[in-house]
Amino acid sequence: MRVMAYIHSLKDKEQDRHVLGEATIIKRIGDNLYLADYNGVKCTAIFNPFTGRYYVDDIYGLRMDGEV
């Protein structure tokens, strides 16, 4: 499903705030852990129920094919 999510690599460092971008949540892979796709990069994401948004980690949460 396509969602608006906070993307790690889009963080506004000057203002120290997260920035929204469009990502695809592919599937759930753990307890509040999801496989996401952002600009062709498979990575991990979590869902924050308090903000109602996914947080996609396309820097440290990279996934290799077959790692799911």
Domain region containing 8: 2-62
* 68 within domain boundaries: no
**Residue at 57 is within a domain:** yes
Assigned domain for 27 exists: yes
Residue 67 maps to a domain: no
Is 2 a residue whose pLDDT tops 90?
yes
Does some domain include residue 24? yes
Average pLDDT on 2-14 reads 89
Nearest CA-CA partner of 6 in 47, 54, 58, 52? 54
The closest of 52, 60, 62 to 6, measured between CA atoms, is: 52
pTM: 0.83
User: How distant, in Å, are the alpha carbons of 10, 17, 41, 53 from that of 28?
Assistant: 23, 26, 16, 15
Question: pLDDT tens digits for 37-47?
Answer: 999 999 999 99
Number of domains, the chain: 1
